[in-house]
Structure 1
Amino acid sequence: MPIYLYGAWFCYKAFTGKYFPKAYLAGILVFLAYALFLLFDKTGVLSWYKEHEAENIVQSMKATKPWIEETREFGGLLILIIALATNYCVFRKSDGKIL
């Protein structure tokens, strides 16, 4: 949960016109490292894809199998990385001002 709160906070700050390039990069790097861990973990995304034939991960909100939760977390991290990278690129091109 703190992972998503971090991303939400900096998206809110971007909305208010504040720009923190080092915080964006730090978040992107940490979240990318965690996403790679989830990708290659023994109960992670590759396990879900190869060993469990990409079983439906949205059948219920209760994650009964570890690869379901890890795959969902991976997807959430990708969304968060894309959001932070988008904010970073937009603000960098506009010198820290909302376009």
Structure 2
Amino acid sequence: MKVFNIVCCVIFIIFAGLQYNDPDPYIWMPIYLYSALFCALAASQRFFRPWYLAGILVYFVYALYLFFTKDGVIDWISQHQAENIAQTMKATKPWIEDTREFFGLFICIAVLGVNYLYSKKVI
């Protein structure tokens, strides 16, 4: 688990850095840095279970919003035939940006969820 959390911490810090040129870095940098912080703490065997749940809840609510909003994931699937979201790094279409953000939240939820479940065994 230590290696998993170190790798995830580094990846989340890189993700946060890549948000610098994003239209809304003030939202996404804290999201990724929150996950990076708790991965770093978990790598040093310090677990904060209520904070994992808080992050998961906030990320889940935001992911639901991105899933159902206009130009969200549903529109990407139904109206744009699940167009390739990785063709360029510059997302000029709003449904691509929202879908990428949805999957970013999904990654954060998954990692926090793994740490939450693992911390239950350790504590």
TM range (shorter): over 0.9
Instruction: Write the letter of the residue equivalent to 1:28.
Output: I
User: Which of 73, 86, 99 is matched with 1:58 structurally?
Assistant: 86
Unmatched runs of 5 consecutive residues or more in structure 2 = 1-28
The runs of at least 4 aligned residues of structure 1 exceeding 6 Å deviation read: none
Alpha-carbon RMSD across the aligned residues, in angstroms, is 0.6
**So what's the TM-score if we normalise by structure 1?**
0.94
Unmatched runs of 5 consecutive residues or more in structure 1 = none
Which structure has greater helix proportion? 2
User: Which of 96, 99, 103 is matched with 1:71 structurally?
Assistant: 99
Shift of 1:94: 1.5
Question: For residues 105 and 73 of structure 2, what CA distance do their matches in structure 1 show?
Answer: 12
Provide the identity percentage.
Answer: 57
Shift of 1:91: 0.8
Select the structure with the greater relative contact order (CA < 8 A; seq sep ≥ 6): 1
Question: For residues 20 and 76 of structure 1, what CA distance do their matches in structure 2 show?
Answer: 22
Instruction: Give the number of equivalent residue pairs.
Output: 95
User: Which of 2, 22, 29 is matched with 2:57 structurally?
Assistant: 29
Larger-gyration structure (1/2) = 1
**So what's the TM-score if we normalise by structure 2?**
0.76
